[in-house]
Homo-oligomer: A and B are copies of this chain.
Amino acid sequence: MRNRKIGYGECPNDQGCPVEYTLDVIGGKWKGVLLYHLIEGTKRFNEFRRICPAVTQRMLTLQLRELEEDGVIHREVYHQVPPKVEYSLTEFGLTLVPIILLMRDWGEVYKNRSGSQNGQLPSQS
């Protein structure tokens, strides 16, 4: 996903498939989750670490930096000791909220599906 040396829109025929672009912004391994938690409000670096202990510091830094570069989140540094940095959604980032919420809803409903079930949905009772 998202290889900025080549960049989104690698597919010439696709002259910028909009879905591809969107996934380029939110499709990183942890980005969806980070954005999801940012919907509730600003978060600090170590808060994310507590919420998601499986993400390493390095990964957290990298993913947050990419989101920042894309203008999706804002990074507010307080020059204190110990340091304090708050992350929040930008105005631009807020435009992604409906997508994140729809993804949350979908995941909520289907996350317990195990295998393929042949693509069938359980019939309504």
Interface residue ranges, A against B (CB under 8 Å): 1, 8, 10-14, 16-23, 26-27, 29, 32-33, 35-36, 50-55, 68-74, 90-93, 95-96, 98-100, 102-111, 113, 115-121
- Chain A at the B interface: SS class: helix
Q: Within the oligomer, what is the number of copies of this chain?
A: 2
Q: How far is the CB of A90 from chain B (nearest CB, A)?
A: 2
Q: A71-B117, A119-B72 are in contact. Are A36 and B19 (CB under 8 A)?
A: yes
CB-defined A-B contacts under 8 Å, sample of 30:
A1-B27, A11-B33, A11-B55, A13-B51, A13-B52, A14-B52, A17-B33, A18-B104, A18-B106, A18-B111, A19-B36, A19-B103, A19-B104, A20-B107, A21-B107, A22-B104, A22-B106, A23-B27, A23-B103, A68-B116, A69-B115, A71-B118, A72-B119, A73-B119, A92-B110, A92-B113, A92-B119, A92-B120, A92-B121, A95-B106
